[in-house]
Structure 1
Amino acid sequence: MARTWANYLAGSGHSVTFISVAAEGDKSLLHPEVNAVFIGERHNHVFKVFKLRRTLEAARFHAVVSAQMYPNLLLQAASIGMKGSRPKVILSEHNLVSLGMPDATPAHRRKVAVARLTYRFADHVVAVSHPVAGELVSWFQVPGKKCTVVANPAADKVGLTNQKMRLPQGEMGIQIILPCRQVIQKQPHLAVLTAAVLTKRGIDASVVAFGGGPMSEELNKLAADNGVELQQRGWVHRWFDHVAPGSIVLLPSKREGFGNVLVEAAAVGIPSVAFSGALGVADAVLPGITGELVADDSPEAFADGILRARELDPLVARRWLSRFSADASGETLEGVLTRCVGGMAS
């Protein structure tokens, strides 16, 4: 997402620097005009703040956009006591933080406590979805006039000009696609249990999982115990190119800031099912059009949702899908930057 924004702004004629607080990555994915700086060669928070401050002071940016909580806090710390003019500080948040607090580690709780005290002082805060924006305003106390929803450019990876139609279901079985990390938050076991429910109803159902994770072996055992066919594909960048026609995406997460895979699925004509209690998924699904939201995260409720979703054709929502293109997302962010810096051109 950050790379997509940087590339869009550079393509629009702005002078852009991409600063990574992680180890050096692949610069070839960036626009040729984007300057890349990597400050993650040491894993020391104080060093990163110092290096980031030096970078900001040397370049004299008009505005700086950070992505997710840790970079947000580094940016806010680095902007304190800067020499010369301070750039406008725009934070972006992509998670529903409060829903994850019951299972959070002490270190994460401390980080969140600092964010709750400091986010409100940023010049602007960008949210990936309306539920995330609501949390920023109500829980982080960010003034509403300083918070804007910028749609995730989730359709950029798929491309809206290379869509494929789904084949009719007929008497085919159902292939449930699980495109997510296999961690507790995502509740991947529910995909296997949902397939088992469908099988008991006389519908041949299997699961194809993309992503992997610490629960992979547990998922394999659960599938074997329930007689469910499970294919583990690992992490695949363009997972949607490797699924059978007539498949249904299931995202059983108990919390999501957005849910990129739901938009990616819709962009290639694959319906999806998600738990409405995850909240952020409400921005990534058009119920009854691109997929279904279920009110209960039980295997039975997901099975019912899948049977409803298999009748849908998400491609009728092409105009809605264009909202998640790189151009639409970048244009909205560009508007935020323009307002923050008073109409400066670069």
Structure 2
Amino acid sequence: MPAPTADRRRICLLMWRDTDHPDGGGSEVYVEHMARWLAARGHDVTVVCAAHAAAPADELRDGVRFRRRGGRLTVYLHGLAYLLGRGRRTDVVVDVANGVPFFTPLVRRRGLRTLVHHVHREQWQIIFPGLRGSIGWWIESRVAPVVYRRVPYMTVSEASRADLGRLGVAPERIRIVHNGIDVPHPSALRARSATPRVCVLGRLVPHKQVEHALETVASLRHAIPDLRLDVVGDGWWSAPLRDAAERAGVDDLVTFHGHVSDRERDALLDSAWLLLVPSVKEGWGIVIMEAAARGVPALAYAHAGGVTEAIVDGETGVLVADRPALTAETARLLTDTEARLAMGKAARERAQDFGWTASCAAFERWVLQGE
């Protein structure tokens, strides 16, 4: 536990959803780790996010006060209303921009920070094809940089900082604090599966492109006997993915585990030979480091943003250009035991440098100082 601080502040984190939300993912894991650290340091911490059936409207957990109001869009109005009402005496507000920010500069000027995991150019048209996606990208790429022109930024990778720079955010205004993992890891490694298994870990949404993993397994089923795929996670794209597995003729090779506990996740990673991360874009890719901590190398797309920093290409995993290359490299590593084990060992060693303690301490400095 971190030592308490004498510089106690009232801190509010505005975010679209929390980790209990059905669509919660890596961004929410990051923010809640930071919130717990801040609370343990003695700060008064409130998280304002959307309401959902899996959690109460108001909750105190690990010293963090959760205030859940509104839905997918109205949460933004509730967040601003909180700052104008009960939260008006807040010292620092962290505006977590998940595509669309809360536009906090419209209601206050002091103590503002904005956290952007990655920009969403590609995701807008995948999730909202046509006019709605174009409007969303216009808000994120044109409107937000102007509204937040005097606000300090934080992101999680050099790739995301570069993307923000292309939107007009000055690089010197952007602080980088990587995602973390539990170091040392609380559970011991279990035995690897005797037969080849690959794993996909994360939210089941279209831009994660889990279909590419299904197609990879379909392409390799005859070349690599006993190959299996574990899909770990849940989301609103689950049913279409199950249909896609059936159409690809691999429903007998794929297990959809849904949402699992951390212990179950670790057990599934321990059995895996490789992690596939075919996402369109990631700010960092916390799942890559979670797998690395279990000695599992990852494969991801070289154009997918922060994954190019989470993976050391050719050492802790492989970055590929497209789906055929993803299939080819998966086949190579599944059949080249020496290369795969060497990458897994290097990944596990590197993961030890990405503990939450250093990340949380850096996050706190940014919250308090804005730099």
Shorter-chain-normalised TM-score: which range?
0.7 to 0.9
**Residue in structure 1 matched with residue 267 of structure 2 by the alignment:** 241
SS at match of 1:72: coil
Code of the residue aligned with 2:258 in structure 1: it is G
**Residue in structure 1 matched with residue 11 of structure 2 by the alignment:** none
Instruction: Tell whether the 8 Å contact from 1:255 to 1:279 is kept in structure 2 after alignment.
Output: yes
**Residue in structure 2 matched with residue 142 of structure 1 by the alignment:** 169
**Residue in structure 2 matched with residue 132 of structure 1 by the alignment:** 160
Taking the aligned partners of 1:293 and 1:29, their CA distance within structure 2 comes to 41
SS at match of 2:303: helix
Code of the residue aligned with 1:179 in structure 2: it is L
| 1:228 to partner: Cα distance | 5.2
Q: 1:332 to 1:278 in 2, by over 3 A?
A: same
Taking the aligned partners of 1:270 and 1:285, their CA distance within structure 2 comes to 11
Deviations 1:90-142 (A, max 9, x none): 11112331233443453444344233323342421111222111111112x11
SS at match of 1:148: strand
Report the TM-score, using the length of structure 1 for normalisation: 0.81
Instruction: Tell whether the 8 Å contact from 1:130 to 1:149 is kept in structure 2 after alignment.
Output: yes
Deviations 1:13-64 (A, max 9, x none): 3x232231312746777332x344344389375454223322332x241x21
Taking the aligned partners of 2:46 and 2:332, their CA distance within structure 1 comes to 41
Instruction: Tell whether the 8 Å contact from 1:9 to 1:334 is kept in structure 2 after alignment.
Output: yes
Code of the residue aligned with 1:303 in structure 2: it is T
| 1:202 to partner: Cα distance | 4.1
Code of the residue aligned with 1:12 in structure 2: it is R
SS at match of 1:69: coil
Taking the aligned partners of 1:244 and 1:319, their CA distance within structure 2 comes to 16
Instruction: Tell whether the 8 Å contact from 2:124 to 2:136 is kept in structure 1 after alignment.
Output: no
| 1:218 to partner: Cα distance | 1.8
Are 1:288 and 2:325 counterparts?
Answer: no
Code of the residue aligned with 1:235 in structure 2: it is H
Q: 1:313 to 1:166 in 2, by over 3 A?
A: farther
Taking the aligned partners of 2:200 and 2:354, their CA distance within structure 1 comes to 21
Are 1:72 and 2:101 counterparts?
Answer: yes
Instruction: Tell whether the 8 Å contact from 1:67 to 1:93 is kept in structure 2 after alignment.
Output: yes
Q: 1:88 to 1:287 in 2, by over 3 A?
A: same
SS at match of 1:256: coil
Q: 1:11 to 1:320 in 2, by over 3 A?
A: farther
Taking the aligned partners of 2:164 and 2:222, their CA distance within structure 1 comes to 43
**Residue in structure 1 matched with residue 74 of structure 2 by the alignment:** 43
**Residue in structure 2 matched with residue 337 of structure 1 by the alignment:** 367
Q: CA RMSD in A?
A: 3.0
**Residue in structure 1 matched with residue 254 of structure 2 by the alignment:** 230
Q: 1:296 to 1:123 in 2, by over 3 A?
A: same
Q: 1:206 to 1:36 in 2, by over 3 A?
A: closer
Taking the aligned partners of 1:311 and 1:44, their CA distance within structure 2 comes to 46
Pairing of 1:110-129 with structure 2 (within 5 A): 110-115=135-140, 116-119=142-145, 120-129=148-157
**Residue in structure 2 matched with residue 151 of structure 1 by the alignment:** 178
Code of the residue aligned with 1:229 in structure 2: it is L
Code of the residue aligned with 1:76 in structure 2: it is P
Instruction: Tell whether the 8 Å contact from 1:188 to 1:219 is kept in structure 2 after alignment.
Output: no
**Residue in structure 1 matched with residue 83 of structure 2 by the alignment:** 52
User: Which runs of 5 or more residues in structure 1 are unaligned?
Assistant: 80-85, 342-346
Pairing of 1:256-267 with structure 2 (within 5 A): 256-267=282-293
User: Which runs of 5 or more residues in structure 2 are unaligned?
Assistant: 1-29
Taking the aligned partners of 2:113 and 2:95, their CA distance within structure 1 comes to 7
Taking the aligned partners of 2:224 and 2:349, their CA distance within structure 1 comes to 37
Percent of matched pairs sharing the same residue: 22
Instruction: Tell whether the 8 Å contact from 2:94 to 2:115 is kept in structure 1 after alignment.
Output: yes
Q: 1:135 to 1:70 in 2, by over 3 A?
A: closer
Are 1:208 and 2:235 counterparts?
Answer: no
SS at match of 1:177: strand
Code of the residue aligned with 2:34 in structure 1: it is W
SS at match of 2:85: helix
Taking the aligned partners of 2:163 and 2:153, their CA distance within structure 1 comes to 12
**Residue in structure 1 matched with residue 120 of structure 2 by the alignment:** 97
Q: 1:44 to 1:56 in 2, by over 3 A?
A: closer
Instruction: Tell whether the 8 Å contact from 1:292 to 1:305 is kept in structure 2 after alignment.
Output: no
Q: 1:49 to 1:226 in 2, by over 3 A?
A: closer
Taking the aligned partners of 2:44 and 2:99, their CA distance within structure 1 comes to 21
Q: 1:46 to 1:272 in 2, by over 3 A?
A: closer
Instruction: Tell whether the 8 Å contact from 2:38 to 2:45 is kept in structure 1 after alignment.
Output: no
| 1:280 to partner: Cα distance | 2.0
Instruction: Tell whether the 8 Å contact from 1:182 to 1:211 is kept in structure 2 after alignment.
Output: yes
Code of the residue aligned with 1:328 in structure 2: it is A
